[in-house]
Structure formats: structure tokens, C-alpha cells
Amino acid sequence: MKIAGADPSSYAARKRGMLAAGVLMTAPGAPMIFMGQEMLEDTKFDPQPAPLDGANAASNAQVRAFYKDMIRLRRNLDGVSAGLTGKNVAMTQLNDGSGNKVLVYRRWNVVGDDAMVIANFGAKKYTSLRRGCPFGRDLGRTRRLRCDQVRRGLRRGGSDCRGGHCGGA
């Protein structure tokens, strides 16, 4: 990952890299990550790679936890994100104005197992987003993925990715 070449483990680099990985892990198709990306490995690609640096794994445990959480959600291992196992996708909202870069898309396999993905690529902070959620469905069965790295521990080293009900937000 080369988002901030001078310091790939900086807060900004981790935040951007994890946002990109979150979209990758929730998009249809086979997600492909580069060797060591989950621990911010910054060595150049080599056809005969050296073993990964274990110190990076320890010092970037929060990023590794994020990848583990996203893989669990992608595979629906906890039974809360079945929509991510389906092939269907629909973009429900795209705000691409200056400083307002929000993408909302819906993934599902069968009606009722929806997973809504909300990705904020801009600097504007949102406390709620009232468009894009498929209201009119059985909301008791519709799910929303929530991965809030800023509020729930990226600075402290934690990961907060879990499934939850899609309500009025």
C-alpha cells in the first residue's frame, strides 16, 4: 500500500487504505489484496519475495484486525452480512461534489438479506445519512454494515466492524 509513501503507517494512510479495503471487501467479485497489505507492508513487489516482516504485523495489529473483521463480514461468518455473499449490487447514492464524496451501495443475494455499504471518501463528517437505505422492505431482516474506524478506535488500535439493523440513519 503506497498511499503515503513517506509514512505508510500514518493515521491518514491507514484511514485511506482501510477505506479502500472496505470497499474492496464489500464489492462483488473476488477481493484481491497484495501480500502484506493487511499489515502495511511497504516493500516493493519481487517475484522471489522475502518473508514478511513480523514487526509490521505487531505494530499494525489494528489494521490486521480490520482486515479480519472485513473478511468475516464478507464471508458472513457471523450470520449478519448474507447480502455480501450475493452477486447483486445497486448503487443507491453517489455524492461527488467538492468535499462531499459519499458512495452508498446495496449488496444482496435474495430479497431481505441486503447489506448497505456507505463509504465516505471526503473530509466532511456525517452523523447521519438519510438516503440510500431500502425502506419499504422488511427492516427487521435488512442489515447494514458498520465500520467506524475514526470513532471507535483506529487511533487507539481497535477495529469496530459488525453487522447491525438498518434503521432510520
6: in domain: no
The three grid cell numbers given for residue 64, joined into one nine-digit string: 490486521
115 within a domain of the structure (yes/no): yes
Round to whole Å and give the CA distance between 30 and 39: 20
What is the tens place of the pLDDT at every residue in 76-96? 998 888 999 999 999 887 777
| More confident of the two residues 169 and 145 | 145
Edge-to-edge strand order for the sheet containing 88-97? 88-97, 100-108, 115-120, 143-147, 161-165
Does residue 144 sit within a domain? yes
Domain limits at 65?
Answer: 11-165
Give dist(CA 113, CA 139) in Å, integer: 10
Task: For residue range 102-130, list pLDDT tens digits in order.
Answer: 888 989 988 888 888 888 888 887 777 66
Instruction: Answer whether 120's CB lies under 8 Å from 143's CB.
Output: no
The total number of structural domains that make up the chain: 1
The reply to whether 4 falls in a domain is no
The whole-number average pLDDT for the span 136-160 is 48
Task: Using the structure block, give the residue that is written with the C-alpha cell 467479485.
Answer: 29
User: Does any domain span residue 2?
Assistant: no
